[in-house]
Amino acid sequence: MKQGSLYFEPPEEQPRKVQPKPPPPAPVRRKFLTVTEFTNLLRGIFEDQFSDILIAGEISGTKTPPSGHIYFTLKDPNAELSCVVYKSSLRFVRFKPKDGIAVIARGRLDAYGGRYQLVVESLEPQGHGALQVAFEQLKKKLSAEGLFDAERKRPLPRLPRRIGIVTSPSGAVIQDMLRILERRFRGLHIRVFPALVQGEGSIEQVCRGLNYFSKSGWADLVIVARGGGSLEDLWTFNEEAVARAIAACAVPVISAIGHETDFTIADFVADLRAPTPSAAAELAIPLKDQLVEQITAARNKIAQAMRYRLSNLHRRLHRQGTDRAALILRRRIGRAQQRLDDSGFRMREAWRTILENRRRRLQHLSTRVQQKDVRLQFGEMHRRLERLSARLDQAMHRKLQRARGRLGPAAAHLSQLSPLKILDRGYALVQNEDGALVKRPADAPQGAKIQVRLAEGKLNARVT
């Protein structure tokens, strides 16, 4: 039998003997994974098994960093799950995630930084009212941006000659609108941009129609119209893209969606909301007879209204100008006084620093002066100055002697080379009228004036 590392045989078969110890077994090397390799392996499993899942829970801990992504935690009473909505997927989320909302998140499971998270691709509130929640959130968002403000809404043109309509060309809505426009004012130019007003592709077509009338400059007024229906039927006009297309339109827009009790985001953004498409046609253009009466009445009142208006504007301008000027003056005086105070503080601090530095330097110099006898230094410096002065006088005297020695021969040599010496022997220099020397008869033809320079003085002559 085997005991430890020794083997024992039965005694009746052979004598007992000790066998040599076998070599130890080779160690078994186990394969290991790095953290990154394990995370990548886990991510692959998630992509295979959890690429499209629906998870219900309540949102908490919502964070929106500058990158535009949205991070939050999806939880229930017993567990929590980290979630992220990438910026590129926000267009599929009908409402902004907010703490406390119970939702159904659709996405894929992913491993990131050693933990798993749900990459959300779409998000819907749980239960009834999901569209209403999305409606309220978009309404709140656009209102905060000022798209619903009355200040940005433009007045409709009083008498538009060209009206653009974005609607379905096959419904009864367009027929009613054309009939009303024809009855109220003949001769209008109407252009219809055909677009789906419900279902897939309707958002893009409505936006395309608004952009067409905005960029072409053809229309004086644009009407976006649709008949009645449920909230789901009218949802195209609750989309953010349509609302922003209406806000960006270069011409005034009338929103005529559904019945009088129906309200959409487009109604809040448009320059004017009409309760029905037929009412939009009536609001777009006045009756011709009413327009004539209004023109007559306006002609009679315009002078008085203008005088009253100008008077009010003059008073308001004077009041606002005086108040604003006083306010600006007070603010400038206050800022100037504050700058003066700051400069005073800094100047006093700087003077204190300078005086303190000078005081320390003076004390240091006083100590050095006290440590040295200035009279001895002055005596030594005076003796040194006398020696240097004597050496300087000697050096200057030697230099002048050498210069005089060089100047005498040079002056004699220069005197020998001077042309004036030649004139002393009876010669003369002849110059023509231009001052050039006459070297040959051709330089002074007959009748020319010449000047003869002698050793002393000059003669003026003429060649005969």
Task: Give tens-digit pLDDT for 260-296.
Answer: 878 899 999 999 999 999 999 999 988 877 777 878 8
Q: For the whole model, what pTM was predicted?
A: 0.43
Question: 221 falls in which pLDDT band (50, 70, 90)?
Answer: very high
Q: Give yes or no: residues 276 and 320 share one domain.
A: no
CA 149 vs. chain centroid, Å, equals 26
Domain presence at residue 238: yes
Q: Please state the rounded mean pLDDT for residues 200-211.
A: 94
Q: Give yes or no: residues 47 and 76 share one domain.
A: yes
In this prediction, what percent of the chain has a pLDDT beyond 90?
A: 24
**Domain at 244, CATH number:** 3.40.50.10550
Domain tally, the chain: 4
Q: Please state the rounded mean pLDDT for residues 160-181.
A: 90
Q: Give yes or no: residues 230 and 305 share one domain.
A: no
Boundary residue ending a domain (304, 334, 359): 359
How far is the C-alpha of 330 from the C-alpha of 197, rounded, in Å?
Answer: 58
Tell me the C-alpha to C-alpha distance, in Å, between residue 333 and each of 29, 297, 327: 84, 52, 10
Q: State the CB neighbour count (10 A cutoff) for residue 293.
A: 11
Backbone angles phi and psi of 125, in degrees to 5: -65, 150
Pairing assessment for the beta strands 189-194 and 162-167 based on DSSP bridges: parallel
Helix (H) or strand (E) holding 411, with range, is helix 374-417
Q: 278 with 176: CB under 8 angstroms?
A: yes
Helix (H) or strand (E) holding 71, with range, is strand 70-75
Tell me the C-alpha to C-alpha distance, in Å, between residue 289 and each of 145, 181, 274: 41, 14, 22
Higher pLDDT, 253 or 45: 253
Q: Give yes or no: residues 169 and 111 share one domain.
A: no
How far is the C-alpha of 116 from the C-alpha of 81, rounded, in Å?
Answer: 8
Domain presence at residue 78: yes
Sign of the alpha-carbon torsion through 336, 337, 340, 342: negative
Q: 281 with 183: CB under 8 angstroms?
A: no
Angle at 320 between CA 316 and CA 324, to 5 degrees: 175
Q: Is the pLDDT of residue 448 over 80?
A: yes
How far is the C-alpha of 448 from the C-alpha of 178, rounded, in Å?
Answer: 112
Higher pLDDT, 31 or 12: 31
Domain presence at residue 441: yes
Q: Is the pLDDT of residue 369 over 90?
A: no
Domain presence at residue 330: yes
Q: Is the pLDDT of residue 119 over 70?
A: yes
What radius of gyration do the chain's Cα atoms show?
54
- Winning range, highest mean pLDDT, from 97-106, 148-157, 311-320, 368-377: 148-157
pLDDT in tens, 420-436: 677 777 788 888 888 88
Q: Is the pLDDT of residue 19 over 50?
A: yes
pLDDT in tens, 292-321: 787 888 888 887 888 888 888 878 777 777
**Domain at 121, CATH number:** 2.40.50.140
What range defines the domain where residue 111 resides? Answer: 35-127
Boundary residue ending a domain (328, 359, 390): 359
